[in-house]
Amino acid sequence: MLGELLTRYLRGYVSIKISGKNPEKLLNLALNHGIPLWNLRRKHDGLEAQLQAAHFRKLRPLVRKTGNRPRLQKRGGLPFQMKRLGKRRGFVAGAFLFVVLLYTLSSFIWFIEVNGTVTMDRAEILSAARELGLKPGRFQRMIELEEVERGLLARVPGLAWVGITLSGTKAMIKIVEKKILLQDEARIPGDLVARADGLIDDLIVLNGQAVVVPGATVREGQVLVRGLKELPDGSVEAVKAYGIIKARVWRTVVAEVPLEKTTEVPTGRTWRLKTLKIGPIQVILRKGRDPGFARYDELEERKPFRLGPVPFPVEIRIVTRYELRPEKRSIDLEEARQEAIKAAFFQLGRVLREGSVVVERRIDVSQPRPDLVRAEVVVETTEDIGMFRPALQGTPPESSPPQPSAAH
């Protein structure tokens, strides 16, 4: 089947319409004379069929016998396409130049990526690569990848390995950073302080000296466990405080919703810009007169040109702006109430810490003004409020005896 389709395309074919009293007779005669027909379709005023272009002339003597009239409707296939292209020499020349341009541009580097960075700055590596000759717009055959790799290792401290590969018009710089030995955090002395106001429920000290007791009210930033450890000889050593400090914490969030809301709706007017980007060059293909929309939504669409997996530095960019106008909409009290509660809980979800357990909550909805609804959500949670605060370098934690806070 595929071979037949390819043969029809290479030899050329025509679509005809047969009209007359008995079009089926002409079809039968054509088949008997070795003229194959395909894609037969009956219409209200005759039959439609396709046949090879070379066989169309063979139908003429058969037409005289049957009295039917075949009418040529369409020509297709390679011979007719080549003939049409021959009449459009400018188009053919332009297409040829475009292919040559694509091939030429594909021989340059247009995109550079850096992979493997953890703590290092990609911009530093790209800057060093540029100084070594690896930069957008450079002819690929002029770049010695091994020299660039060695140059990066010499110029950028912290690189343990560099590998550069080319994929189409893209250069991929893969790196491995040297392992930096950081100071062991476990040896940094410091205290546990409260990350929020609360009421201490339970306290388990794993390292250090407790400053508060269960039932104590604490403020944000207050020391809970000192980073101090008493040694057998009676001296005190500065250590990193560890512990689990469970406390009850109360949080309040407020959200307000007006009964009359202003939204932006499309007017139906649009503005469009279409450009062709070839490497660093950008050409405007079509640009409407800028109407100067005061409010608009902008949608950008990019259509890159690819030849299989190989990207080319050619793309079509279409920017469309949709004009918007403000529109006021009134909502009823119940809708405003639900929106305010939903907004308050959204805010609450952003302030609650992971691991917090909500023990109790209270929702109060009020209307402070005729045009406004307010929702106030108060929650009580149980959570670990301990937060490590390192001691200043050279300044150990206070060595005064721990004094538990009195419960309020």
Q: Give which of 381, 353, 382, 379 is closest to 254, Cα–Cα.
A: 379
- pLDDT of 397 reads 52
CATH code for 108-177? 3.10.20.310
Calculate what percentage of the chain has a pLDDT beyond 70: 86
- pLDDT of 88 reads 62
Tokens of 398: 């206070």
Tokens of 166: 């080319």
Calculate what percentage of the chain has a pLDDT beyond 90: 28
Q: According to CATH, where is 3.10.20.310 located in the chain?
A: 108-177
Fold of 2-82: Alpha-Beta Plaits (3.30.70)
- Span 199-220, average pLDDT: 92
Res. 3 pLDDT band, cuts 50 70 90:
low
Q: pLDDT tens digits for 228-275?
A: 988 888 888 888 898 889 999 999 999 999 998 888 889 989 999 988
Q: pLDDT tens digits for 77-99?
A: 877 777 766 666 666 566 667 76
DSSP-assigned letter for residue 135:
-
Q: Degrees (nearest 5) of the Cα angle 333, 338, 343?
A: 125
The sign one gets for the Cα dihedral 326, 330, 333, 338 is negative
Query: What residues form DSSP beta bridges with 281?
Result: 278
pTM of the shown model: 0.43
Q: pLDDT tens digits for 110-150?
A: 889 998 888 888 899 999 999 999 988 888 888 888 899 99
Tokens of 358: 């909500």
Q: How far apart are CA 21 and CA 66, in angstroms?
A: 9
Phi, psi dihedrals of residue 23, rounded to the nearest 5°: -65, -25
Place of tokens 């530095």: 313
Q: pLDDT tens digits for 35-81?
A: 888 888 877 777 888 888 888 878 777 777 777 777 888 888 877 77
Q: How far apart are CA 12 and CA 214, in angstroms?
A: 93
The answer to whether the CB of 329 falls within 8 A of the CB of 261 is: yes
Give the residue with greater pLDDT, 4 vs 87: 4
Q: Give which of 334, 316, 331, 324 is closest to 298, Cα–Cα.
A: 324
Determine which helix (DSSP H) or strand (DSSP E) holds 251, and give its type and residue range: strand 242-258
Q: How far apart are CA 39 and CA 5, in angstroms?
A: 12
The answer to whether the CB of 314 falls within 8 A of the CB of 304 is: yes
The answer to whether the CB of 101 falls within 8 A of the CB of 87 is: no
Angle in degrees, 0-180, between the axes of helices 78-87 and 89-105, rounded to the nearest 10 = 100
DSSP-assigned letter for residue 218:
E
Tokens of 125: 């590596």
366 Cβ contact partners less than 8 Å away, ≥ 6 residues apart: 373, 374, 376
Q: According to CATH, where is 3.30.70.340 located in the chain?
A: 2-82
